[in-house]
């Protein structure tokens, strides 16, 4: 009786009662039980999944894609810019900047010829220019004297105190003009015209001398072969001391930082190409890369019936000028073929033979393939596989064919 009364009083002072505590304790036990069962199921499922595919990181369903018929053409890697320096005048090679492979900046003198003969001719031309300049100044002085002091040369003729010439100026010439036997004004104009012609001839001689100097300066510049752009010497054709003639090649200079592939494309494949199009290319050094159509020549070679096409290589490509390269061009005249395409990560090699592990009915089967072209991380399959089959990705080393999950024995 006292216990019941004490419990009743305790219920009045506590914020919750015993029944509520028991209810909440039961809910907590149910929640813990559910968490435990969930964890157990997850552990069982994860263990069974890992035991189903040991060493596997997934599978892949083979898909077939339309692949156009590609024609592989061989070409040559060439520099984007290449020049050949030739001699413009006879002379002796006096200087060569470096050897094959040496790099030089723009405007650097690469080769220099002896120019002593040209310098001697320039000095002679400078002397002719000085003489022409003196003649021009003398003709100008003569013209000015005739303008301001007409007939001054006649006053220096022999005579007594110049009276005969004064008599002619005062009486003889005016009387001749009046009688129509002479025209003093016309005579004066003729004299002035003669002096002006002398000035014009002296000026023309000065221009001719200056032109001769400019021509010699151009020849002197031609004795120096300068780099028109940043690049390297790719081939020397002469050595220091060699005597050369006009038109003889001296060296080859190229910009090897930007490279191209030059290919002779049959005329029937040219309609499938456009400037700016990207096509796959295989290099001797560097593997597969994507190249862009840079230039398509407007006419075909009349003897080989091919069109020259240039493809831009990506920057920093591991190749060099003169190396062999292949370019794949789609033949738009042939229909597309549907071929299986698989990731390269699924391929395993048995010696030199490629293969994949095909998953079928809880079994793993190694199947050898015949591969086609590679496009990035994928490769086409020519034979050994068909669309819809499931293959294993990233097979682990040492994996072999057989059961994925061995079947359980029926006898216990």
**Model confidence pLDDT, tens digit, residues 238-277:** 999 999 999 999 999 999 888 999 999 998 899 889 999 9
Question: Of 7-11, 30-34, 134-138, which has the strongest mean pLDDT?
Answer: 134-138
pLDDT at 52 over 50: no
Residue 163: pLDDT band by 50, 70, 90 thresholds? low
**Model confidence pLDDT, tens digit, residues 188-227:** 777 788 888 888 988 999 999 999 999 999 889 888 999 9
Give the pLDDT of residue 81. Answer: 92
Q: Are the beta carbons of 295 and 231 closer than 8 angstroms?
A: no
Q: List the single range of 29-33, 44-48, 258-262, 309-313 with lowest mean pLDDT.
A: 44-48
Q: Looking at per-residue confidence, does 344 or 405 come out higher? A: 344
pLDDT at 384 over 80: yes
Helix (H) or strand (E) holding 246: none
Alpha-carbon distance of 188 to 190, in angstroms, equals: 5
- Is the domain defined by 59-68+337-403 classed in CATH 2.40.420.20? yes
What six digits make up the tokens of 53? 């595919």
Report field, pTM of the whole predicted structure over 0.75? no
Q: Are the beta carbons of 295 and 276 closer than 8 angstroms?
A: no
Cα end-to-end distance, the chain, whole Å? 64
Q: Are the beta carbons of 235 and 254 closer than 8 angstroms?
A: no
Helix (H, G, I), strand (E, B) or coil at 399: coil
Give the pLDDT of residue 39. Answer: 40
What six digits make up the tokens of 368? 């050898």
283-290, Cβ contacts within 8 angstroms, sequence gap of 24 or more:
283/77, 283/317, 283/318, 283/319, 283/323, 283/325, 283/326, 284/319, 284/323, 284/324, 284/325, 285/318, 285/319, 285/320, 285/323, 286/317, 286/318, 286/319, 288/374, 289/313, 289/314, 289/317, 290/314
Q: What is the CATH number of domain 69-111+231-333?
A: 2.40.30.170
* 62, HSE (Cβ side, Cα atoms, 13 Å): 26
Q: Looking at per-residue confidence, does 335 or 46 come out higher? A: 335
Alpha-carbon distance of 29 to 246, in angstroms, equals: 105
**Greatest Cα-to-Cα distance within the chain, rounded to the nearest angstrom:** 184
Residue with tokens 């470096």: 98
Sign, CA torsion 87/90/96/99: positive
Extended beta strands in 127-200, E state:
none
Give the pLDDT of residue 167. Answer: 55
The stretch 327-342 carries a mean pLDDT of 85
**Beta-bridge partner residues of 391:** 60, 358
Q: Are the beta carbons of 356 and 369 closer than 8 angstroms?
A: yes
Alpha-carbon distance of 356 to 30, in angstroms, equals: 50
How many Cβ atoms are within 10 Å of 100's Cβ, its own excluded?
Answer: 11
pLDDT at 64 over 50: yes
**Beta-bridge partner residues of 310:** 262, 295
């Amino acid at each position: 009786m006292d216990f019941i009364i004490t419990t009743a009083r305790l219920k009045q002072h506590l914020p919750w009662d015993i029944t509520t505590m028991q209810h909440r304790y039961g809910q907590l036990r149910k929640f813990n039980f559910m968490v435990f069962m969930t964890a157990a199921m997850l552990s069982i499922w994860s263990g069974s999944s890992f035991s189903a595919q040991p060493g596997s990181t997934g599978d892949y369903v083979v898909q077939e894609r339309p692949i156009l018929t590609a024609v592989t053409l061989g070409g040559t890697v060439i520099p984007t810019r290449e020049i050949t320096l030739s001699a413009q005048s006879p002379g002796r090679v006096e200087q060569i900047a470096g050897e094959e492979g040496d790099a030089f900046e723009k405007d650097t003198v690469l080769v220099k010829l002896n120019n002593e003969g040209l310098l001697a001719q320039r000095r002679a031309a400078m002397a002719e220019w000085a003489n022409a300049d003196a003649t021009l100044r003398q003709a100008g002085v003569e013209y000015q004297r005739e303008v301001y002091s007409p007939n001054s040369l006649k006053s220096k003729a022999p005579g007594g105190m110049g009276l005969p010439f004064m008599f002619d100026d005062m009486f003889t010439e005016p009387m001749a003009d009046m009688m129509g036997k002479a025209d003093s004004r016309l005579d004066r104009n003729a004299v002035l015209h003669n002096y002006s012609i002398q000035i014009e001839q002296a000026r023309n001689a000065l221009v001719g001398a200056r032109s001769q100097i400019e021509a010699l300066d151009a020849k002197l510049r031609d004795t120096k072969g300068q780099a028109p752009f940043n690049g390297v010497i790719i081939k020397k054709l002469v050595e220091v001391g060699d005597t050369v003639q006009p038109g003889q090649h001296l060296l080859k200079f190229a910009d090897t930082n930007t490279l191209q592939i030059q290919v002779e494309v049959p005329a029937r494949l040219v309609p499938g190409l456009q400037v700016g199009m990207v096509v796959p290319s295989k290099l001797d050094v560097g593997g597969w890369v994507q190249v862009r159509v840079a230039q398509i020549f407007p006419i075909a070679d009349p003897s080989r019936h091919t069109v020259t096409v240039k493809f831009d290589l990506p920057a920093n490509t591991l190749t060099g000028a003169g190396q062999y390269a292949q370019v794949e061009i789609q033949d738009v005249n042939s229909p597309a073929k549907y071929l299986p395409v698989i990731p390269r990560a699924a391929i395993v090699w048995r010696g030199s033979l490629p293969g994949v592990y095909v998953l079928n009915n809880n079994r793993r089967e190694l199947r050898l393939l015949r591969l086609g072209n590679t496009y990035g991380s994928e490769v086409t399959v020519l034979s050994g596989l068909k669309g819809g089959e499931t293959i294993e990705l990233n097979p682990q080393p040492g994996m072999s064919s057989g059961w994925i999950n061995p079947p359980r024995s029926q006898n216990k």
